[in-house]
Amino acid sequence: MIQQAARDFAQNELLPGVIERDDEQRFPAEQIKKLGELGFLGMMVDPKYNGSGMDTMSYVIAMEELSKVDASASVVVSVNNSLVCYGLETYGTEEQKQKYLPRYASGEIIGSFCLTEPEAGSDAASLKTSAVKDGDFYVLNGTKRFITNAPHAATFTVMARTNPDIKGASGISAFLVEANTPGISLGKIDQKMGQKGSHTCDVIFENCRVPASALIGGIEGIGFKTAMKVLDKGRLHIGAYSVGVAERMLNDALHYAIERKQFGQPIANFQLIQAMLADSKAEIYAAKCMVLDAARRRDNGENISTEASCSKMFATEMCGRVADRCVQIHGGAGYISEYAIERFYRDVRLFRLYEGTTQVQQLIIAKNMIRDATA
Ligand SMILES: Cc1cc2nc3c(=O)[nH]c(=O)nc-3n(C[C@H](O)[C@H](O)[C@H](O)COP(=O)(O)OP(=O)(O)OC[C@H]3O[C@@H](n4cnc5c(N)ncnc54)[C@H](O)[C@@H]3O)c2cc1C
Protein backbone atom coordinates (compact mmCIF):
# COMPACT_ATOMS: atom_id res chain seq x y z
CA MET A 1 0.00 0.00 0.00
CA ILE A 2 2.73 2.45 0.92
CA GLN A 3 4.62 1.61 -2.27
CA GLN A 4 1.52 2.30 -4.36
CA ALA A 5 0.76 5.53 -2.47
CA ALA A 6 4.33 6.78 -3.00
CA ARG A 7 4.25 5.72 -6.67
CA ASP A 8 0.93 7.53 -7.25
CA PHE A 9 2.20 10.65 -5.52
CA ALA A 10 5.39 10.62 -7.59
CA GLN A 11 3.47 10.28 -10.86
CA ASN A 12 0.63 12.69 -10.06
CA GLU A 13 2.35 15.34 -7.97
CA LEU A 14 6.12 15.20 -8.49
CA LEU A 15 6.33 14.43 -12.20
CA PRO A 16 4.45 17.54 -13.41
CA GLY A 17 6.98 20.39 -13.34
CA VAL A 18 10.01 18.32 -12.32
CA ILE A 19 12.04 19.61 -15.30
CA GLU A 20 11.03 23.24 -14.72
CA ARG A 21 11.86 23.01 -11.02
CA ASP A 22 15.33 21.71 -11.91
CA ASP A 23 15.86 24.42 -14.56
CA GLU A 24 14.70 27.18 -12.22
CA GLN A 25 16.36 25.68 -9.10
CA ARG A 26 12.93 25.87 -7.46
CA PHE A 27 12.20 24.24 -4.11
CA PRO A 28 9.18 21.88 -4.36
CA ALA A 29 7.25 23.76 -1.64
CA GLU A 30 3.72 22.73 -2.67
CA GLN A 31 4.72 19.11 -3.14
CA ILE A 32 6.43 19.01 0.27
CA LYS A 33 3.31 20.45 1.89
CA LYS A 34 1.19 17.71 0.31
CA LEU A 35 3.71 15.04 1.31
CA GLY A 36 3.32 16.28 4.88
CA GLU A 37 -0.47 16.10 4.68
CA LEU A 38 -0.19 12.49 3.46
CA GLY A 39 2.15 11.51 6.30
CA PHE A 40 5.39 11.17 4.29
CA LEU A 41 7.35 13.66 6.39
CA GLY A 42 7.12 11.76 9.66
CA MET A 43 6.82 8.25 8.32
CA MET A 44 8.44 6.49 11.26
CA VAL A 45 7.37 8.94 13.94
CA ASP A 46 5.17 7.41 16.63
CA PRO A 47 1.44 8.08 15.99
CA LYS A 48 1.24 9.64 19.45
CA TYR A 49 3.26 12.53 17.96
CA ASN A 50 1.09 12.58 14.83
CA GLY A 51 3.52 10.39 12.86
CA SER A 52 2.68 7.52 10.51
CA GLY A 53 4.35 4.93 12.77
CA MET A 54 5.79 2.87 9.90
CA ASP A 55 8.76 0.52 9.97
CA THR A 56 12.08 0.99 8.18
CA MET A 57 11.11 -1.41 5.40
CA SER A 58 8.04 0.67 4.48
CA TYR A 59 10.12 3.82 4.59
CA VAL A 60 12.87 2.60 2.25
CA ILE A 61 10.26 1.30 -0.21
CA ALA A 62 8.55 4.72 -0.25
CA MET A 63 11.89 6.48 -0.75
CA GLU A 64 12.69 4.27 -3.74
CA GLU A 65 9.42 5.27 -5.39
CA LEU A 66 9.72 9.03 -4.78
CA SER A 67 13.32 9.12 -5.98
CA LYS A 68 12.40 7.48 -9.29
CA VAL A 69 10.79 10.75 -10.27
CA ASP A 70 12.38 13.56 -8.25
CA ALA A 71 15.65 13.13 -6.38
CA SER A 72 15.48 16.69 -4.99
CA ALA A 73 12.12 16.21 -3.31
CA SER A 74 13.28 12.83 -1.97
CA VAL A 75 16.23 14.48 -0.25
CA VAL A 76 13.99 17.00 1.48
CA VAL A 77 11.79 14.14 2.69
CA SER A 78 14.78 12.08 3.80
CA VAL A 79 16.41 14.88 5.80
CA ASN A 80 13.17 15.63 7.63
CA ASN A 81 12.45 11.98 8.38
CA SER A 82 15.79 10.49 9.18
CA LEU A 83 18.05 13.33 10.29
CA VAL A 84 15.56 15.63 12.00
CA CYS A 85 12.60 13.55 13.30
CA TYR A 86 14.54 10.41 14.16
CA GLY A 87 17.21 12.27 16.15
CA LEU A 88 14.64 14.16 18.15
CA GLU A 89 12.39 11.16 18.76
CA THR A 90 15.32 9.02 19.91
CA TYR A 91 17.24 11.53 22.02
CA GLY A 92 14.88 14.44 22.73
CA THR A 93 13.10 15.22 25.98
CA GLU A 94 9.37 14.53 26.13
CA GLU A 95 8.72 18.27 26.03
CA GLN A 96 10.86 18.71 22.89
CA LYS A 97 9.15 15.78 21.17
CA GLN A 98 5.67 17.06 21.95
CA LYS A 99 6.54 20.56 20.81
CA TYR A 100 8.14 19.72 17.45
CA LEU A 101 7.43 16.18 16.20
CA PRO A 102 3.74 16.72 15.32
CA ARG A 103 4.67 19.84 13.37
CA TYR A 104 7.46 18.07 11.43
CA ALA A 105 5.28 15.04 10.78
CA SER A 106 2.41 17.08 9.35
CA GLY A 107 4.72 19.18 7.17
CA GLU A 108 3.72 22.37 9.01
CA ILE A 109 7.47 22.93 9.41
CA ILE A 110 10.61 21.22 8.13
CA GLY A 111 14.01 21.01 9.78
CA SER A 112 17.69 20.96 8.87
CA PHE A 113 20.60 18.98 10.28
CA CYS A 114 23.73 21.08 10.87
CA LEU A 115 26.91 19.05 11.35
CA THR A 116 29.34 20.00 8.56
CA GLU A 117 31.54 23.10 8.85
CA PRO A 118 34.01 24.79 6.50
CA GLU A 119 36.91 22.94 8.17
CA ALA A 120 35.06 19.88 9.49
CA GLY A 121 33.61 17.61 6.80
CA SER A 122 34.63 13.94 6.92
CA ASP A 123 36.35 14.69 10.23
CA ALA A 124 33.08 15.90 11.74
CA ALA A 125 34.27 15.32 15.32
CA SER A 126 36.73 18.22 14.88
CA LEU A 127 33.88 20.74 14.56
CA LYS A 128 34.48 24.17 16.10
CA THR A 129 31.02 25.73 16.52
CA SER A 130 30.83 26.57 20.21
CA ALA A 131 27.94 26.62 22.66
CA VAL A 132 28.90 28.38 25.88
CA LYS A 133 26.61 28.13 28.90
CA ASP A 134 25.44 31.50 30.21
CA GLY A 135 22.89 31.12 33.02
CA ASP A 136 19.73 29.60 31.52
CA PHE A 137 21.06 30.06 27.99
CA TYR A 138 23.75 28.77 25.64
CA VAL A 139 25.51 31.19 23.30
CA LEU A 140 26.30 29.69 19.89
CA ASN A 141 29.06 30.86 17.55
CA GLY A 142 30.22 29.21 14.33
CA THR A 143 29.41 28.44 10.71
CA LYS A 144 27.71 25.34 9.30
CA ARG A 145 28.21 24.53 5.62
CA PHE A 146 26.15 22.91 2.82
CA ILE A 147 23.05 22.61 5.02
CA THR A 148 20.16 20.95 3.15
CA ASN A 149 16.74 22.63 3.54
CA ALA A 150 18.30 25.55 5.48
CA PRO A 151 16.60 28.32 3.48
CA HIS A 152 13.19 26.73 4.20
CA ALA A 153 13.72 25.25 7.65
CA ALA A 154 11.94 26.39 10.80
CA THR A 155 14.48 24.62 13.03
CA PHE A 156 18.14 23.63 12.93
CA THR A 157 19.52 20.57 14.70
CA VAL A 158 22.96 21.97 15.53
CA MET A 159 26.00 20.03 16.69
CA ALA A 160 28.19 22.36 18.78
CA ARG A 161 31.06 22.02 21.23
CA THR A 162 29.94 22.62 24.82
CA ASN A 163 33.24 21.57 26.32
CA PRO A 164 36.23 23.22 24.59
CA ASP A 165 38.65 21.21 26.75
CA ILE A 166 37.52 17.99 25.07
CA LYS A 167 38.70 18.17 21.46
CA GLY A 168 36.94 15.03 20.19
CA ALA A 169 33.40 13.69 19.98
CA SER A 170 32.49 13.73 23.66
CA GLY A 171 32.77 17.54 23.90
CA ILE A 172 29.93 17.91 21.38
CA SER A 173 26.24 18.47 22.20
CA ALA A 174 23.14 18.72 20.00
CA PHE A 175 20.72 21.67 20.08
CA LEU A 176 17.34 22.24 18.51
CA VAL A 177 17.42 25.88 17.47
CA GLU A 178 14.52 27.84 16.00
CA ALA A 179 15.52 29.46 12.71
CA ASN A 180 14.15 32.88 13.66
CA THR A 181 16.39 33.16 16.75
CA PRO A 182 18.38 36.43 16.71
CA GLY A 183 22.04 35.84 15.82
CA ILE A 184 21.34 33.38 12.96
CA SER A 185 21.97 34.36 9.35
CA LEU A 186 22.03 32.35 6.14
CA GLY A 187 24.57 32.40 3.32
CA LYS A 188 23.49 32.59 -0.30
CA ILE A 189 21.95 29.45 -1.79
CA ASP A 190 24.69 27.16 -3.14
CA GLN A 191 24.79 26.67 -6.93
CA LYS A 192 24.86 22.88 -7.18
CA MET A 193 25.64 20.43 -9.99
CA GLY A 194 22.36 18.57 -9.46
CA GLN A 195 19.44 18.09 -7.07
CA LYS A 196 18.75 21.72 -7.84
CA GLY A 197 15.29 21.76 -6.28
CA SER A 198 16.82 20.96 -2.90
CA HIS A 199 18.52 24.05 -1.50
CA THR A 200 21.64 24.20 0.66
CA CYS A 201 23.48 27.13 2.19
CA ASP A 202 25.67 28.19 5.12
CA VAL A 203 24.02 28.73 8.49
CA ILE A 204 25.95 31.27 10.57
CA PHE A 205 25.61 31.66 14.34
CA GLU A 206 26.88 34.91 15.86
CA ASN A 207 26.30 35.25 19.59
CA CYS A 208 23.06 33.36 19.10
CA ARG A 209 21.41 32.89 22.51
CA VAL A 210 19.25 29.81 22.83
CA PRO A 211 17.43 28.68 25.99
CA ALA A 212 19.01 25.77 27.86
CA SER A 213 15.83 23.82 27.02
CA ALA A 214 17.10 23.69 23.40
CA LEU A 215 19.77 21.14 24.43
CA ILE A 216 18.50 17.88 22.90
CA GLY A 217 17.79 15.35 25.62
CA GLY A 218 18.87 17.93 28.22
CA ILE A 219 22.30 16.25 28.42
CA GLU A 220 25.64 17.68 27.28
CA GLY A 221 28.22 15.56 25.46
CA ILE A 222 25.92 13.17 23.56
CA GLY A 223 25.60 15.31 20.43
CA PHE A 224 28.13 13.45 18.31
CA LYS A 225 26.74 10.06 19.31
CA THR A 226 23.29 11.36 18.37
CA ALA A 227 24.56 12.57 15.00
CA MET A 228 26.26 9.25 14.19
CA LYS A 229 23.18 7.20 15.10
CA VAL A 230 21.04 9.47 12.98
CA LEU A 231 23.45 9.16 10.06
CA ASP A 232 23.35 5.34 10.26
CA LYS A 233 19.69 5.65 9.44
CA GLY A 234 20.15 8.38 6.84
CA ARG A 235 22.71 6.24 5.02
CA LEU A 236 20.27 3.40 4.61
CA HIS A 237 17.84 5.83 3.06
CA ILE A 238 20.42 7.14 0.62
CA GLY A 239 20.99 3.51 -0.36
CA ALA A 240 17.23 3.22 -0.97
CA TYR A 241 16.95 6.22 -3.18
CA SER A 242 20.07 5.20 -5.09
CA VAL A 243 18.21 1.98 -5.92
CA GLY A 244 15.08 3.94 -6.91
CA VAL A 245 16.89 6.33 -9.24
CA ALA A 246 18.97 3.49 -10.74
CA GLU A 247 15.80 1.52 -11.52
CA ARG A 248 14.30 4.55 -13.20
CA MET A 249 17.45 5.27 -15.24
CA LEU A 250 17.72 1.67 -16.39
CA ASN A 251 14.06 1.56 -17.36
CA ASP A 252 14.50 4.69 -19.48
CA ALA A 253 17.67 3.29 -21.08
CA LEU A 254 16.01 -0.06 -21.83
CA HIS A 255 13.08 1.58 -23.63
CA TYR A 256 15.41 3.91 -25.49
CA ALA A 257 17.49 0.92 -26.62
CA ILE A 258 14.40 -0.91 -27.86
CA GLU A 259 13.16 2.11 -29.83
CA ARG A 260 16.42 3.57 -31.17
CA LYS A 261 17.57 2.02 -34.44
CA GLN A 262 21.07 2.04 -35.88
CA PHE A 263 22.55 -0.21 -38.56
CA GLY A 264 18.97 -1.10 -39.48
CA GLN A 265 17.95 -2.55 -36.13
CA PRO A 266 17.19 -1.59 -32.52
CA ILE A 267 20.39 -0.91 -30.60
CA ALA A 268 18.99 -3.30 -27.93
CA ASN A 269 19.96 -6.12 -30.33
CA PHE A 270 23.65 -5.29 -29.96
CA GLN A 271 25.39 -7.44 -27.39
CA LEU A 272 27.58 -4.56 -26.19
CA ILE A 273 24.41 -2.64 -25.29
CA GLN A 274 22.95 -5.79 -23.71
CA ALA A 275 26.05 -6.11 -21.52
CA MET A 276 25.46 -2.61 -20.11
CA LEU A 277 21.78 -3.39 -19.51
CA ALA A 278 22.57 -6.71 -17.83
CA ASP A 279 25.39 -5.41 -15.64
CA SER A 280 23.13 -2.58 -14.46
CA LYS A 281 20.23 -4.92 -13.74
CA ALA A 282 22.40 -7.27 -11.68
CA GLU A 283 24.01 -4.46 -9.71
CA ILE A 284 20.66 -2.83 -8.92
CA TYR A 285 19.33 -6.19 -7.74
CA ALA A 286 22.33 -6.65 -5.45
CA ALA A 287 21.98 -3.15 -3.98
CA LYS A 288 18.24 -3.58 -3.49
CA CYS A 289 18.80 -6.84 -1.60
CA MET A 290 21.33 -5.11 0.64
CA VAL A 291 19.06 -2.16 1.43
CA LEU A 292 16.05 -4.38 2.17
CA ASP A 293 18.12 -6.76 4.29
CA ALA A 294 19.56 -3.88 6.32
CA ALA A 295 16.07 -2.40 6.77
CA ARG A 296 14.75 -5.78 7.94
CA ARG A 297 17.61 -6.14 10.41
CA ARG A 298 16.96 -2.67 11.75
CA ASP A 299 13.28 -3.47 12.22
CA ASN A 300 14.40 -6.58 14.14
CA GLY A 301 16.34 -4.37 16.54
CA GLU A 302 19.86 -5.15 15.29
CA ASN A 303 22.66 -2.58 15.27
CA ILE A 304 23.11 -1.94 11.54
CA SER A 305 26.04 0.46 11.53
CA THR A 306 28.09 -1.85 9.26
CA GLU A 307 25.16 -2.85 7.05
CA ALA A 308 24.00 0.77 6.62
CA SER A 309 27.50 1.81 5.52
CA CYS A 310 27.82 -1.23 3.22
CA SER A 311 24.44 -0.43 1.65
CA LYS A 312 25.23 3.26 1.23
CA MET A 313 28.66 2.58 -0.24
CA PHE A 314 27.58 -0.15 -2.65
CA ALA A 315 24.26 1.39 -3.71
CA THR A 316 25.62 4.88 -4.35
CA GLU A 317 28.66 3.60 -6.28
CA MET A 318 26.35 1.27 -8.22
CA CYS A 319 24.08 4.21 -8.99
CA GLY A 320 27.00 6.20 -10.40
CA ARG A 321 28.00 3.31 -12.67
CA VAL A 322 24.41 2.76 -13.82
CA ALA A 323 23.98 6.50 -14.54
CA ASP A 324 27.11 6.47 -16.67
CA ARG A 325 26.04 3.39 -18.65
CA CYS A 326 22.53 4.76 -19.16
CA VAL A 327 23.89 8.02 -20.61
CA GLN A 328 26.07 5.86 -22.89
CA ILE A 329 23.06 3.84 -24.08
CA HIS A 330 21.25 7.10 -24.92
CA GLY A 331 24.24 8.24 -27.01
CA GLY A 332 24.26 12.01 -27.68
CA ALA A 333 20.64 12.25 -26.52
CA GLY A 334 21.84 11.30 -23.04
CA TYR A 335 23.73 14.58 -22.84
CA ILE A 336 20.67 16.68 -23.71
CA SER A 337 18.29 17.85 -21.01
CA GLU A 338 15.20 16.75 -22.96
CA TYR A 339 15.89 13.27 -21.60
CA ALA A 340 15.55 12.65 -17.86
CA ILE A 341 18.85 10.76 -17.79
CA GLU A 342 20.79 14.04 -18.13
CA ARG A 343 19.24 15.34 -14.88
CA PHE A 344 19.59 12.05 -13.00
CA TYR A 345 23.25 11.75 -14.04
CA ARG A 346 23.91 15.08 -12.31
CA ASP A 347 21.62 14.33 -9.36
CA VAL A 348 23.18 11.00 -8.39
CA ARG A 349 26.76 12.27 -8.18
CA LEU A 350 25.93 13.71 -4.79
CA PHE A 351 24.93 10.35 -3.30
CA ARG A 352 28.58 9.31 -3.00
CA LEU A 353 29.48 12.52 -1.15
CA TYR A 354 26.98 13.46 1.53
CA GLU A 355 26.19 11.70 4.79
CA GLY A 356 29.74 10.33 4.63
CA THR A 357 31.74 9.90 1.42
CA THR A 358 32.50 6.44 0.03
CA GLN A 359 35.91 6.62 1.71
CA VAL A 360 34.28 7.38 5.08
CA GLN A 361 31.98 4.37 4.64
CA GLN A 362 35.07 2.23 3.95
CA LEU A 363 36.64 3.50 7.18
CA ILE A 364 33.48 2.75 9.21
CA ILE A 365 33.08 -0.76 7.78
CA ALA A 366 36.72 -1.68 8.35
CA LYS A 367 36.76 -0.14 11.86
CA ASN A 368 33.68 -2.16 12.83
CA MET A 369 35.21 -5.34 11.37
CA ILE A 370 38.45 -4.88 13.30
CA ARG A 371 36.59 -4.00 16.53
CA ASP A 372 34.41 -7.10 16.27
CA ALA A 373 37.37 -9.37 15.47
CA THR A 374 39.41 -8.12 18.41
CA ALA A 375 36.60 -7.82 20.99
C1 LIG B 1 24.55 19.20 -1.60
C2 LIG B 1 25.07 18.86 -0.24
C3 LIG B 1 24.19 18.74 0.82
C4 LIG B 1 24.68 18.51 2.10
N5 LIG B 1 23.82 18.50 3.15
C6 LIG B 1 24.32 18.48 4.44
C7 LIG B 1 23.47 18.66 5.56
O8 LIG B 1 22.24 18.79 5.43
N9 LIG B 1 24.02 18.68 6.80
C10 LIG B 1 25.36 18.54 6.99
O11 LIG B 1 25.79 18.58 8.15
N12 LIG B 1 26.21 18.34 5.94
C13 LIG B 1 25.72 18.34 4.66
N14 LIG B 1 26.56 18.18 3.59
C15 LIG B 1 27.98 18.01 3.84
C16 LIG B 1 28.50 16.63 3.45
O17 LIG B 1 28.07 15.67 4.38
C18 LIG B 1 30.03 16.75 3.35
O19 LIG B 1 30.28 17.48 2.17
C20 LIG B 1 30.72 15.39 3.30
O21 LIG B 1 30.61 14.75 4.55
C22 LIG B 1 32.19 15.48 2.94
O23 LIG B 1 32.85 16.48 3.66
P24 LIG B 1 33.75 17.57 2.85
O25 LIG B 1 32.90 18.10 1.75
O26 LIG B 1 34.28 18.54 3.84
O27 LIG B 1 34.90 16.74 2.18
P28 LIG B 1 36.32 16.36 2.87
O29 LIG B 1 36.09 15.77 4.21
O30 LIG B 1 37.24 17.52 2.77
O31 LIG B 1 36.81 15.21 1.90
C32 LIG B 1 37.50 15.45 0.66
C33 LIG B 1 37.96 14.11 0.11
O34 LIG B 1 38.88 13.50 1.04
C35 LIG B 1 38.43 12.20 1.38
N36 LIG B 1 38.81 11.89 2.77
C37 LIG B 1 38.61 12.66 3.87
N38 LIG B 1 39.08 12.03 4.96
C39 LIG B 1 39.59 10.85 4.54
C40 LIG B 1 40.24 9.76 5.19
N41 LIG B 1 40.43 9.72 6.52
N42 LIG B 1 40.65 8.70 4.43
C43 LIG B 1 40.45 8.71 3.10
N44 LIG B 1 39.86 9.72 2.42
C45 LIG B 1 39.43 10.78 3.13
C46 LIG B 1 36.93 12.25 1.19
O47 LIG B 1 36.37 10.95 1.03
C48 LIG B 1 36.82 13.09 -0.06
O49 LIG B 1 37.05 12.29 -1.17
C50 LIG B 1 26.08 18.35 2.30
C51 LIG B 1 26.96 18.43 1.21
C52 LIG B 1 26.47 18.70 -0.04
C53 LIG B 1 27.45 18.82 -1.18
DSSP classification of residue 80 = I
Average pLDDT, the chain: 95
**Ligand 1 close to Cβ of residue 115 (< 6 A):** yes
The CA distance from 213 to 176, in Å, is 9
pLDDT at position 53: 95
Phi and psi at residue 219, to the nearest 5°: -125, 130
Q: Give 123 Cα–ligand 1 centroid separation in angstroms.
A: 8
The CA distance from 102 to 109, in Å, is 9
355 tagged catalytic: yes
pLDDT at position 168: 85
pLDDT at position 61: 94
262 Cα distance to chain centroid: 40
The CA distance from 82 to 181, in Å, is 24
**Mean local confidence (pLDDT), 353-366:** 96
H/E element, 206: strand 200-211
Taking 90 as the threshold, does the pLDDT of residue 177 lie above it? yes
Phi and psi at residue 162, to the nearest 5°: -90, -20
Taking 90 as the threshold, does the pLDDT of residue 232 lie above it? no
Residue whose C-alpha is closest to residue 43's, from 81, 99, 86, 3: 81
Q: Which of 114, 123, 146, 192 to probe ligand 1 with, by most ligand atoms within 8 A of CB?
A: 146
Residue 299's SS3 state is: helix
Q: Which of 80, 158, 353 to probe ligand 1 with, by most ligand atoms within 8 A of CB?
A: 353
Task: Report long-range pairs for 286-291 (Cβ below 8 Å, ≥24 apart).
Answer: 286/314, 286/318, 287/239, 287/242, 287/243, 287/246, 287/311, 287/314, 287/315, 287/318, 287/319, 288/243, 290/239, 290/314, 290/315, 291/60, 291/236, 291/239, 291/240, 291/243, 291/315
Q: Give 157 Cα–ligand 1 centroid separation in angstroms.
A: 18
**Mean local confidence (pLDDT), 200-222:** 96
Q: Give 270 Cα–ligand 1 centroid separation in angstroms.
A: 40
pLDDT at position 45: 96
Tell me the pLDDT tens digit for each residue of 234-252. 899 999 989 999 999 999 9
DSSP classification of residue 170 = G
Tell me the pLDDT tens digit for each residue of 107-120. 999 999 999 999 99
Tell me the pLDDT tens digit for each residue of 257-294. 999 999 999 999 999 999 999 999 999 999 999 999 99
Helices assigned H by DSSP within 215-339: 223-259, 271-299, 305-330
Which amino acid residue places its CA nearest to atom 31 of ligand 1?
A: 122
Q: Which atom of ligand 1 is nearest to the CA of 149?
A: 8
pLDDT at position 226: 87
**Ligand 1 close to Cβ of residue 148 (< 6 A):** yes
* Cβ atoms within 10 Å, residue 264: 6
Which amino acid residue places its CA nearest to atom 30 of ligand 1?
A: 121
pLDDT at position 160: 97
